Amino acid sequence: MSEHTGHRLAVIGAGVMGTNIAALAIGHGVPVVLVDVADEVLATARATVGQKLKHAQLMGVLPAGRARGELVTSTSPSDAADATTVIEAVVEIAETKAKVLTEVAGLVRPGTLLISNTSCIPIDEMAGWVGRGDELVGVHFMNPAYLIKMVEVIRGTATSDATMERVVALLTALGREALVIRDAPGFVINRLLHPLINRAAMLVQEGVASAEVVDGLLQGCLGHATGPLRTADLIGIDNLVDSLNVLHERTGDPECAPCDLMLEKVREGQHGRKTGRGFYDYGKTAR
């Protein structure tokens, strides 16, 4: 186990959030096994985690004098079997999450903390996939996870008191502050944020204002830190479309049906910072 925290973390999914969470954990002395489907994905992920650790160090958000945890990458979910906690951080598609959670729940020992970094899919829906729904909890880390201390913790109806104690202990070891909410599609943050981003994109689509002007108004008038469309580029427009589809299907809210401009950007591969272009052009600075 980690000398400092007693935790061993397995992160399933080496995308934007998976590498964010891995960097957070390693920077706090927690060893991480990062699992994804291909060696080339993991090679990129190792470099990305390194960059994020450097950024965290420059920002002064890592514990002083604490040795970093070890990072191991693997294409085999079985390498997560010895973890004390598994965090699922794959795409927001129910079928994909179900496959991953079902597999990993069958590999780990009873008592292992199971966390989904779901954006919108309810925890109660996922509990039926894992067999031990009492050990499952949602933790919605914000992006970038190593900078934003507040996290949304989603307790399902089956989530046990012991699981809640374990997740709070883990988040405390990672220097995060937890706010616990009841389960619902989209929870609190994304039930508010995703329709806002969608509506902002509609205004650009309709020619009412440019992305820069929409973001500028929300920053200057409402105090939004980056503006909704820069936030969209940071999250990944493809991820947002997946999450909006989940919300639309599960709530029926018409504000959650992805607008044509968002769908067009996904079709054209303009997913935001990770591809170099979304609502803004990032050129060689993306990643």
pLDDT at position 285 over 80: no
Could you report the per-residue pLDDT of 238-256, keeping only the tens digit for each?
Answer: 999 999 999 999 999 999 9
Rg of the chain over all Cα atoms, to the nearest angstrom: 18
What is the rounded average pLDDT of the residues 16-25? 97
140 is catalytic: yes
Whole-number pLDDT of residue 284: 55
Q: Quick: pLDDT tens for 116-150.
A: 999 999 999 999 999 899 999 999 999 899 999 99
Which amino acid is present at 235?
A: I
Q: What are phi and psi of 120, to 5 degrees?
A: -145, -25
The pLDDT value given to residue 287: 43
pLDDT at 4: 52
Backbone torsions φ then ψ of 67, nearest 5 degrees: -65, 145
Q: Is pLDDT above 50 for 233? A: yes
9-182 CATH pick, 3.20.20.10, 3.40.50.720, 3.90.79.10, 3.40.50.1820: 3.40.50.720
pLDDT recorded at residue 5: 59
Percent of the chain with pLDDT over 70: 97
Topology of domain 191-285, CATH: N-(1-d-carboxylethyl)-l-norvaline Dehydrogenase; domain 2 (1.10.1040)
The pTM assigned to this predicted structure is 0.90
Rounded mean pLDDT of the chain? 95
Region 171-185 average pLDDT: 96
Q: Of 114 and 4, which is predicted with more confidence?
A: 114
- What is residue 174's predicted lDDT score, i.e. its pLDDT? 97
> Which pLDDT belongs to residue 1?
46
CB 212 within 8 A of CB 278: no
What is the side-by-side order of every strand in the sheet holding 150-155?
71-74, 32-35, 9-12, 85-88, 113-116, 136-140, 150-155, 177-182
User: Choosing from 140, 224, 248, 271, which is the catalytic residue?
Assistant: 140
- pLDDT tens per residue across span 91-111: 999 999 999 999 999 999 999
Instruction: Locate the domains of the chain by residue range.
Output: 9-182, 191-285
Is the pLDDT at 163 greater than 60? The verdict is yes
Region of residue 195 (phi > 0: left; psi between -120 and 50: alpha; otherwise: beta): alpha
Average pLDDT for residues 20-41, to the nearest whole number?
Answer: 97
| pLDDT for 269 beyond 70 | yes
Residue 286 — pLDDT band, cuts 50, 70, 90? very low
Tell whether the model's pLDDT for residue 205 goes beyond 60: yes
Position 257 pLDDT exceeds 70: yes
pLDDT at 2: 46
Q: How far is CA 110 from CA 106, 125, 129, 180, 254, in A?
A: 9, 20, 15, 24, 41
